[in-house]
Amino acid sequence: MRLNPDHFWTYSEWLFQHNALRDGAILSVILALLGFVVGYIISVVKHGPSEGFLRVSQIIGQLFTVDLPKMSFRRIFAVAKLAVKESIRKKILVLIAIFIVAMMFAGWYLDPNADYPARLYLSFVLTATNYLVLLLGLFISCFSIPADIKSRTIYTITTKPVRPLEIFLGRVFGFAAIGTLILGIMGLLSYIFVVRGLDHDHGVESIDPSGRSGETSFDNRHRHTYTLNSEGRGTTNEVKGHRHIVTKVGDKVVVGGPIDDLTARIPIYAKGLSFTGRDGEINEGYNVGYMSEYQKYIEGDSLSRAVWRFEGVDKSLFKDVMLYDLTISAFRTYKGDIVTPVGGLIHFRSIDGKVKSEDEPFKVKEFQVDRRSVRTKLKGFIEDRPADLDFFKDIAPDGNFEVVIRCQDRGQYLGMAAADIYLRPADLQFWWNFVKGYISIWLQMFIVICFGVMFSTFLSGPVAVIATVAALVLGFFGFFVDDLVETTSKGGGPIESLIRLPTQMGSQIDLDLGNEALQTGILMVDRGILAAVSQLRNAVPNFSQLDTANFVAYGYNLFGGLLARHLTIAFGYFVLTALVSYFFLKTREMAA
């Protein structure tokens, strides 16, 4: 899992410093002006300039003077109740049976030899639930109002004291209620499926003559080795992403259930990452030719280093030992030995560099979390003189310190990003993190329901489905649009590409149609199309950012600030779709 810088923003940073509030307000103003202009143009065509402006103003005024003040929660509840009954009548609960069948087949086909079975199980249940629930929200929301319009029952409702906004709210809340019921059942079944699928026991197969170490039995396609301390307690080594607690009871060694596979780590991340090059001078880290720019690399057996800066770490979180995790990678420039792991050195130092701990050697554990620790009472140096140190008195008296890593092996490189080292003061209960993951799925479903109901107020059912699917596609894969707009794509925009295909003109050569004015016009139209698509992309929710399945699957606690951001986004789109739906339903009511 790759954590981006925006994952570390607090809610207030996201809202104010990174302009989420400003961008939301600008989008709302643009859509409001666009809606007013379009509505006015349509009204002008039907009634003339003066009468058209009067009618549009009247509809806007009625929202604030009549419909909002006189809105009834009893009527909203009645419409929501009808929406729930309508969904049940359409056999929507069959989706639960489909999900159960999918889990039964998954039990057969999920790879039991996977290196991280917990990650595999969680990714499956979260992804399957997400897609099924989005499809649920899509189909129950897009066909309801068009069916009422087609049968003309909508006019019976609107002539009663049921207001347009109440129709939208009732439909959304009703569909969200049935979706919540189904999602809750899916979540419970998923939790049971994951926990039962990963639960297993080991016996003891061999014991060292000293009685301090041994090997477990081969169960669930793996075995462990273990070591006991003088008190007869210990843990096994990590295999397939988990360990077991081992205790000696009398003459018998007992192996407990798996631990560390279903976790919710609460990480403390560094505030910044900097690099020095092979000459010791500050640089941006080396690029070893990989397509991804996520990690930068330091060179082995040189002055090249990576330095993480931590700020304001609370010493009360760590008593005798400070736990931290490494997820760095290795790049080998020679392939003669791919078995021996690349070595590195790590030490902790004060911000001014005068106090530092001894270098601790480590071997890179690629593609897995390396759980490590440093004692708060440790050996080190004060101005290059050996000394006994207290971590939070000598190195980090104000909670600020740096972590320095360098690579030992000549010709090898270590790669790291800002999130590849973090402190680990505690773990949250996994079940609560699992629930938060399902809250994130619920928010995506709720947004889809809002869009589906909104589109259904002025489009037929099939067309509303297509429009909602288009919003979903832009939300999940909008980064392709961003790449087209922000970079110069080979082959040009959509029109230029259509010209190149039949003329068999390669993307590496300049477009030459023999008419400079025509070529300029094509380029301008392409820029306009891409700009319009980019603005449309910004108007729909970014579903890829709302997807938090990886947080749960990889064992990271879902940040409260991140979930608060998602709640704010969902509420914003709820208000936006409610207003759009109100005006379309109000127009239909007046037309009736």
Query: Mapping DSSP to helix (H, G, I), strand (E, B) and coil, where does residue 368 land?
Result: coil
Tokens of 290: 């990989």
> In the predicted model, is pLDDT for residue 189 greater than 90?
yes
CB 574 within 8 A of CB 450: yes
Residues 264/555, Cβ–Cβ less than 8 Å: yes
User: Exposure of 508 by Cβ count < 10 A (0-12 exposed, 13-18 middle, 19+ buried)?
Assistant: exposed
Tell me the domain boundaries of the chain: 5-197+429-477+548-591, 204-259, 268-426
Rounded-to-integer distance, Cα 326 and Cα 87, Å: 48
Helix (H) or strand (E) holding 266: strand 265-269
pLDDT of residue 485: 66
**pLDDT above 70 coverage of the chain, percent:** 94
Position 357, amino acid: S
- Residue 102: C-alpha distances to residues 183, 191, 253 (Å): 15, 15, 39
| Residue 86 contacts residue 401 (beta carbons within 8 Å) | no
* DSSP one-letter code for 362: E
* 157-181 burial code (b ≥16 CB/10 A, e <16): bbeeebbbbbbbbbbbbbbbebbeb
Type and span of the H or E element at 265: strand 265-269
Q: Residue 236: phi, psi to the nearest 5?
A: -80, 170
pLDDT at residue 592 in the model: 41
Confidence check: pLDDT of 431 > 90: yes
**What would the mean pLDDT of 155-183 be, rounded to a whole number?**
84
- Find tokens 């209960």 and name the residue: 429
CA distance 243 to 192: 21
198-239 pLDDT, tens digit each: 999 999 998 888 888 899 999 888 999 999 988 889 999 989
- Quick check: 503 and 495 in contact, CB under 8 A? no
Phi, psi of 233 (to 5 degrees): -125, 150
CB neighbour list of residue 58: distance below 8 Å, 6 or more residues apart: none
pLDDT of 572 above 90:
yes
Mean pLDDT of 75-93: 88
Confidence of residue 303 (pLDDT cuts 50, 70, 90): very high
Higher-confidence residue of 101 and 531: namely 101
pLDDT for res 486: 64
Query: Which tops the pLDDT comparison, 355 or 147?
Result: 355
Quote the pLDDT of residue 172: 95
**Dihedral sign from CA coordinates of 485, 487, 488, 492:** negative
Q: What is the pLDDT of residues 369-381, one digit of tens each?
A: 888 999 999 999 9
| Least confidently predicted of 37-46, 89-98, 464-473, 580-589 | 580-589
Residue 246's pLDDT is: 93
Tokens (6 digits) for 159: 């002539």
The whole model's pTM is what?
0.87
Pairing of strands 233-236, 421-427: unpaired
117-142 and 461-486 are packed helices; what angle lies between their axes, rounded to 10 degrees? 130
Residue 113 neighbours by CB under 8 Å, 6+ apart: 221
What was the pLDDT predicted at 133?
Answer: 92
What pLDDT score does 153 carry?
A: 65
Asked if residue 142 has pLDDT above 60, the reply is yes
Q: What does the mean pLDDT of the chain come to?
A: 87
Is pLDDT at 590 greater than 60 in this prediction?
no
Q: What is the pLDDT of residue 374?
A: 94
CATH architecture of 268-426: Sandwich (2.60)
What is the tens place of the pLDDT at every residue in 9-47?
788 888 888 888 888 888 888 888 888 888 888 888 888
